[in-house]
Amino acid sequence: MGTTASKGVLYDENGKQIFEIGVPYPLIQTKVGQAEEDPEVIFDAVQQIIYKLSKNADGKIMAISWSSQMHSLIGLDENKNLLTNSITWADNRAEEIVAGAKESGLGKIIYQNTGMPIHPMAPVYKLMWLKEKNAQLYKQVKYWIGIKEYLIYRLTGELWMDIPMAAGSGMLDLKTLTWDNQILNKLELSIDQLPKLTKPTEIISNLSDEYRRKLNLSSNTLIVIGASDGYLSTIGVGVLSKSDFALNVGTSGAVRTLVTQPIIDKKARYFCYPADKKSYLVGGPVNNGGIAFEWARKTIFDADETAEDFLNIAQSVPAGSGGLIFHPYLGGERAPIWNANSKASFIGLTRNHTKPQMARSVLEGIVFNLFEASHAITENIGRPRAIKVTGGFIRSEFVRQMLANVFNIPMVAMKNSQSGTLAAMFLARLALGMNKELSEINNFITEEKVYFPDSKEVKIYQEIIPIYQEIEHEINQSYEKITAFQNRHPDLFKA
């Protein structure tokens, strides 16, 4: 389940992908900062997907395993009926709560206890916001869950949450892997208002008879709880230790790796989410990946110019874009600056700059931002030997080479773009006893090509990146003022 669509992939018993289908759904954004989804619409999409996948396998589905967007929040009443939509990671309405938590020191406590960065994406801050702004609703809610938990509940009647998903709530204790009592007390919540915790390979076997019939499933079909898309996208490219990083860039993006113990950053610049007591997902998520590329393609260039046209134009000028720097914060930003009010900007624009430099600077700005998101991680755990890359934004060889040159690290393009579903499939294999060790996932993963840094362009980027960083820090203090101005004059956005 993604933010704007769900995708289902059918694998055979040997782990070979044989069919896939996606169903889109809308984000609800009728208020400033709002980004919600209707859980019933998503449940309908998921039912369509499961039914069609099952039809392609003549109903012989051994297991259904799950990969899900993180940080969603749904409230249920005492009968487990919906009281809210799914408030997604992209919802920024808890901005003021986060600002207060930063000032009071509460945000730092939450980060140190749970590994959750201080940002409105986190359900813990959404709960504080609802508690303050909608106290009546807050008291009505008996259970707080996420979208994956809701979907599995509808199919099985049980409320479970895997550890990697729970880690994304900002309420899971990093060390004990249990719900954090100090934070729950602050929220005036009890443990029985949250799902039961379990491992990603847990089998929830009692799929209801109603949905067995509706979805064309057999009595032997098992539900494997699965995990978060962040964790699965990482192990799904074979990143099982800090010696390698995973970089996925689609609409948004993230750089991630796995470590064997919690490693917290003094400045709270990255997340640290437990998968189990021996494995912790460390990484930096960015809002502005391919979405910034698409904005530039549609806004700066003619509407009929394709992504390929844009890339060809960008390649026609040298690295560095003639000193033109683009900060891609079109939708606020998580890592590296963790500022929901941040804005995009071109810096260094002159009369000599034309469309090619602007195109290349957009691409470079997106990549610089990804590099910055990785910077705090490498400071704390060291540089990787290679970075394994996936996602729609990095399909171009030009972008892959740019990543290698900016990071000055080899980039390994992966053949299988469905790293999240592949890993979910592998969790099902572990649950069913078809595999024994997580390391065996590498038997299902294929590398496509390695891109090595070009020393000439590395030198140019190492000269311009410090300028990008300097501007990033200097302009950061102005974003709140710009946001306040925009909030005072919403009519200025109308055509």
8 A C-beta contact, residue 62 and residue 140? no
Peptide bond connecting 318 to the previous residue in cis, omega within 30 degrees of 0:
no
SS3 460: helix
Q: Is the CATH number of domain 237-414+454-495 3.40.50.720?
A: no
Q: Render pLDDT for 353-406 as a digit per residue (tens, 0 to 9).
A: 999 999 999 999 999 999 999 999 999 999 999 999 999 999 999 999 999 999
Contacts of 209 (CB under 8 A, 6+ apart): none
| Residue 205: predicted pLDDT | 77
At residue 300 the predicted structure's pLDDT band, cuts being 50, 70 and 90, is confident
Instruction: Pull the structure tokens for residue 312.
Output: 């060809």
Give yes or no for residue 133 having a pLDDT over 70: yes
Q: C-alpha 250: how far from its chain's center?
A: 10
As a whole number of angstroms, the distance between CA 348 and CA 350 comes to: 6
Give yes or no for residue 304 having a pLDDT over 90: no
Instruction: Pull the structure tokens for residue 473.
Output: 């820090």
Peptide bond connecting 466 to the previous residue in cis, omega within 30 degrees of 0:
no
At residue 487 the predicted structure's pLDDT band, cuts being 50, 70 and 90, is confident
Give yes or no for residue 481 having a pLDDT over 80: yes
96 burial (CB, 10 Å; 0-12 / 13-18 / 19+) is middle
488 — alpha (psi -120 to 50), left (phi > 0) or beta? alpha
φ/ψ of residue 143, rounded to 5: -130, 135
CA distances to 43, 155, 206, 372 from 215, rounded to whole Å, are: 12, 10, 15, 45
Residue 453 belongs to what H/E stretch?
Answer: none
Instruction: Pull the structure tokens for residue 114.
Output: 């749970």
User: Which residue reads 């003094």 in tokens?
Assistant: 266
Give yes or no for residue 121 having a pLDDT over 80: yes
What is the CA angle 305-311-314, rounded to 5? 105
| Residue 126: predicted pLDDT | 98
Percent of the chain surpassing pLDDT 90: 92
| Reported pTM | 0.95
Q: Determine the average pLDDT of the residues in 308-320.
A: 97
Higher pLDDT, 423 or 417: 423
Q: Determine the average pLDDT of the residues in 460-467.
A: 98
| Residue 70: predicted pLDDT | 97
Give yes or no for residue 216 having a pLDDT over 60: yes
Give yes or no for residue 320 having a pLDDT over 90: yes
| Residue 465: predicted pLDDT | 98
| Residue 492: predicted pLDDT | 82
As a whole number of angstroms, the distance between CA 103 and CA 96 comes to: 11
Q: Determine the average pLDDT of the residues in 146-174.
A: 97
Q: C-alpha 207: how far from its chain's center?
A: 28
Altogether, the residues listed in the chain come to a count of 495
At residue 491 the predicted structure's pLDDT band, cuts being 50, 70 and 90, is confident
8 A C-beta contact, residue 301 and residue 310? yes
Poorest-confidence range of 302-306, 433-437, 468-472? 302-306
As a whole number of angstroms, the distance between CA 11 and CA 418 comes to: 11
8 A C-beta contact, residue 317 and residue 360? yes
Over its C-alpha atoms, the chain yields an Rg (Å, rounded) of 22
482 burial (CB, 10 Å; 0-12 / 13-18 / 19+) is middle
| Residue 305: predicted pLDDT | 85
| Residue 344: predicted pLDDT | 96
For CATH 3.30.420.40, the residue range(s) in the chain are: 5-231, 237-414+454-495
Give yes or no for residue 495 having a pLDDT over 70: no
The rounded mean pLDDT for the chain is 96
In CATH terms, 5-231 corresponds, of 3.20.20.70, 3.40.50.720, 3.30.420.40, 1.20.1600.10, to 3.30.420.40
As a whole number of angstroms, the distance between CA 66 and CA 154 comes to: 14
Q: According to DSSP H, which parts of 141-254 are helical?
A: 147-156, 163-167, 181-187, 209-214, 229-235
Contacts of 242 (CB under 8 A, 6+ apart): 257, 258, 259, 282, 381, 382, 384
Q: Render pLDDT for 6-59 as a digit per residue (tens, 0 to 9).
A: 999 999 999 999 999 999 999 999 998 999 999 999 999 999 999 999 999 998
455 burial (CB, 10 Å; 0-12 / 13-18 / 19+) is exposed
Residue 293 belongs to what H/E stretch?
Answer: helix 290-299
Nearest Cα residue to 327 out of 457, 213, 205, 469:
469
Give yes or no for residue 293 having a pLDDT over 60: yes
Q: Determine the average pLDDT of the residues in 410-419.
A: 92
